[in-house]
Structure 1
Amino acid sequence: MPADPKSSTDVAVENDYDSFAEAYTVENDTSLLNAYYARPAIVDLAGDVAGRRILDAGCGSGAVSEALRDRGAVVAGFDRSAKMVELARQRLGADTDLRVADIGQPLPYPDGAFDDVIAALVLHYLEDWTAPLAELRRVVKPGGRLIVVVNHPIIFKIIHPEASYFATSKWSDECTFNGQKAVLTFWHRPLHAMTDAFTAAGFRTAVISEPPPAPEARELFPDEMARFPSGAFLSFLFFVLEAV
């Protein structure tokens, strides 16, 4: 369920979350797409996390980390946005290992440090997944999991029906977070390119999921959900990958 696009693929934006971190956090904590769709789906896919060491890669303001910590996980997180990390510290407290780091660079963690890694709404900002996935594979232990959430590849084709589904393509979308406008720039890639990249990085694809929103979404968002009589919609694609 994409936002209405107001910008085209020729808009160059660096996804500067520092500039709208607080507005995004307010939206993220209450919105249909984040609070009642992506986050509960991640928690459900993660299952019993009690005692598991989990890295939240691209943690934002820490909402996913908080949900997993509340279920007994030992969480750590990083984000490229210093402002987002500051907000995550306010949410999670000083005893949580939170760092400013870039998923496109070597990560400041030892090999096999984590049982699971969550990369939610992160990889679709990147043109090349090779180095980021290699680093995520390095820091997760053998047999551990990487849970990935990205824009569903059908969304690009819906917004740009004239474009090639099979090409890796840059595109931008103007969004509104708690009243503040921001332009986000993504990289579309077809499904087979995603799974090929996971395999090349040393992961086995265990689950590909297109989940419905949380049950309470229909009552909380009646206008939006009225567009989807079945109760399900497509916005993100969810993967559970096993480190081999």
Structure 2
Amino acid sequence: MSTDTHNDPSATPELPGRAAYTQFADRYAQIVPEKPHNALYERPATAALLGDVSGLDVLDAGCGPGIVSAELAHRGARVKSFDVTPAMVELARERCASLNVEIAQGDLGQPLAWLGDAQFDRIVCSLALDYVERLAPTFAEFHRVARPGAQLVFSMAHPMRDWIDTRTRGKRTYFETTRFGLHWGGFGEPKPYVEAYRRPLADIVNALRETGWQIDAMVEPKPVPEMKAVAPALYTELSLAPAFICIRARRD
């Protein structure tokens, strides 16, 4: 496992992801492996789009505490990962210490200068792009480091789900990108204040198209059946309308 640091985010202290997760990195790392929203909803949908990764080179972009990185390594992938939050990087290093995972510190909103061209067969970005204001430069960097035929799989908050919440949209129209903040429940006290960006679906799709990616699957996930026993109210809610979208795109 490497311990390199790249694109030092200390020069941009207002990055929403770094500011948010610094508040509660330890709590997040302890709770999210079993949290129904993640373990029984988003991660299964993302993993299904990724498919078999055995023997592949995979980039885990915005890896958080290394949960997905560890899963990928256990499934036989060679993994490189990075995150913008120093505390998350350290937690990921601890989680992946004995695995075939290299972890760095880096910012999704900046060039991935430490990564060479055409290195990866798969790129996964799980619930991290909501903290990036402009997606096209990030997708362009993903395209650069991907091999021909490689796949990009990512999940994000569902644009319409966030639009329905007046706290999220404020007074702006659906068609604008909005930076908003909420206090998150489910992670103990004090409740962390998390800022992110909400954007229209067309901005996500067009940013992919403009940077050379071809969409070949889009999923509005439903909860796995096991959630019904663990979190029945959440199961009912997510069975009626999705909270996230998961997209798979291919580099021609």
Structure 1 and Structure 2 fold alike (TM over 0.5): yes
Partners of 1:42 and 1:70 in 2: how far apart? 16
Match of 2:7 in 1: none
Equivalent residue number for residue 4 of structure 2? none
Structure 2 stretches lacking a partner, 5+ long: 1-13
CA contact (8 A) 1:79 1:101 kept: yes
Which residue pairs with 1:63 in the alignment?
Answer: 67
Structure 1: gaps spanning 5 or more residues: 1-11
1:213 Cα deviation after fit? 1.6
The answer to which structure, 1 or 2, has the higher relative contact order (CA under 8 A, 6+ apart) is 1
Name whichever structure is richer in helix by fraction.
2
Match of 2:144 in 1: 138
Per the TM alignment, residue 28 of structure 1 is displaced from its structure 2 partner at its CA by: 1.1
Give 2:132's match in structure 1, choosing from 103, 126, 130: 126
Amino acid at match of 2:26: E
* Equivalent residue number for residue 14 of structure 1: 16
- Residue type matched to 1:57 in 2? A
1:218 corresponds to which residue? 228
1:188 aligned onto 2:192: no
- Give the whole-Å Cα distance in 1 for the aligned partners of 2:236 and 2:202: 32
| Equivalences, count | 231
Structural RMSD (CA): 1.8
TM-superposed deviation, 1:123: 1.4
Q: How does the TM-score come out when normalised to structure 1?
A: 0.88
Residues 147-202 of structure 1: per-residue CA shift (max 9 Å, x gap): 11111001222112764111122222210353031111121111111110001111
How far off is 1:227 after superposition?
4.1
Normalization by structure 2: what TM-score?
0.86
CA distance in 1, matches of 2:80, 2:202: 30
Residue 39 (structure 2) pairs with residue 35 (structure 1)? yes
Distance in 2 between the 1:37 and 1:236 partners?
9
Cα distance in 2 for residues equivalent to 1:201 and 1:140: 12
2:161 pairs with 1:155: yes
Q: Residue 82 of structure 1 aligns with which residue?
A: 86
